[in-house]
Amino acid sequence: PFDVLIVGGGPAGAAAAIYAARKGVRTGVLAERFGGQVMDTMAIENFISVQETEGPKLVAALEAHVKQYDVEVMDGFRAEALVPGEMNEIQVAGGAHLKAKSVIIATGARWREMNVPGEREYRGKGVAYCPHCDGPLFKGKRVAVIGGGNSGVEAAIDLAGIVAHVTLLEFGEQLRADAVLQAKLKSLPNVTIHTMAQTTEVTGADGKVNGLTYTDRNNGESHHVELEGVFVQIGLLPNTDWLKGTVELSRFGEIEINPRCETSVAGVFAAGDATTVPYKQIIIAMGEGSKAALSAFDHLIRASAP
């Protein structure tokens, strides 16, 4: 059995693996796809101390760092269930069972997509999901933000300080963000808000976004807005369905953790985008993964005390 079994091979899982292995305990990483969301990222400019890098390059460095240690990496395998106990069991798709004294869950999240024509095609070519990551790339340009919840309105306020103009589109009759955020948004001179607006297409030419089309749900009329960027802010979906009923989750499906990355189940820790930790970023996921591994080690030495 493993002393520490990490489920997830993104930045959180990789950091947890290195921290655990450096304690000399038997460490394994089970990942559906090593690298996680970072594999889908092109320019990364906010990974502190690295001015600029690309996702696959950062993943290669993560993998090399993990493999410097005695870590058993099981890439291409999906966990289907966690059975907690004195010895925790992870059930793997295909029928395998792995046993571990402690488990760190770092299964990450994925952004909810609009599922309209052009969205996938122009992903990374104008279609973006993370204002903290990609906002500065649109300096002086025109962008849309899709979604009028807290994340959409926060993104619009953030972007309005960087870009030339922000158009915010909300599907419902009104914005759903907190009142203070709405008031702030409405005070900004370079923001236009459309409610009852259903985005139907992201348009582009020469491999880049040049606008979007939306339907005004009041009268069914279609409108086209010319712009260079579209930030989709309609939700982040944690990869935690397989944990329902085992580990306490928030109403958004995030694993509830305390500042030590402990979950509601003793011996089970969690880190990164799959958890309630605020702000989903690479550097934060790595810090959390490191914390989770130190907590798991602390659990191991206490559990094996004479």
Q: Which stretch, 81-89, 145-153, 210-218, 278-286, contacts ligand FAD (CB under 6 A)?
A: 278-286
Binder of ligand FAD out of 12, 144, 146, 236 (CB under 6 A):
12
Nearest to 300 by CA among 255, 258, 266, 260: 266
Q: Is 44 in the site for ligand FAD (CB under 6 A)?
A: yes
Q: Where are the beta strands (DSSP E) in 50-196?
A: 53-54, 71-75, 79-83, 88-92, 97-105, 109-111, 127-128, 142-146, 165-169, 191-194
Q: Is 135 in the site for ligand FAD (CB under 6 A)?
A: no
Least distance in Å: CB of 84 to ligand FAD?
Answer: 16
In which residue are the tokens 């095609």 written?
Answer: 121
Q: Is 4 in the site for ligand FAD (CB under 6 A)?
A: no
Binder of ligand FAD out of 5, 6, 17, 31 (CB under 6 A):
31
Least distance in Å: CB of 250 to ligand FAD?
Answer: 15
Burial 83-115 (b: 16+ CB within 10 A, else e): ebeeebbbebeeeeebebbbbbbbbbbebeebe
Least distance in Å: CB of 283 to ligand FAD?
Answer: 6
Look at strands 208-216 and 53-54 and give their pairing. unpaired
106 assigned to a ligand binding site: no
The phi and psi torsions of 269 (rounded to 5 degrees) equal -120, 165
Of the pair 158, 216, the CB lying nearest ligand FAD is at 158
Q: Which two tokens stand for residue 119?
A: 């969205």
Q: Is 112 in the site for ligand FAD (CB under 6 A)?
A: no
* Interface map 65-94 toward ligand FAD (x if CB under 6 A): -------------xx---------------
151 assigned to a ligand binding site: yes
* Interface map 227-256 toward ligand FAD (x if CB under 6 A): ------------x--x--------------
Are 129 and 113 a contacting pair, CB within 8 Å?
A: no
Of the pair 32, 201, the CB lying nearest ligand FAD is at 32
In which residue are the tokens 């928030």 written?
Answer: 250
Of the pair 102, 239, the CB lying nearest ligand FAD is at 239
Residue at shortest CB range from ligand FAD: 108
Distance from C-alpha of 229 to C-alpha of 220, rounded to nearest angstrom? 24
Look at strands 27-31 and 2-7 and give their pairing. parallel
Q: What count of residues does the chain have?
A: 306
Q: Is 158 in the site for ligand FAD (CB under 6 A)?
A: no
**Residues near ligand FAD, by CB under 6 A:** 7-13, 30-34, 36-38, 40-41, 44, 46, 78-79, 106-109, 129-130, 133, 239, 242, 272-274, 280-283, 285
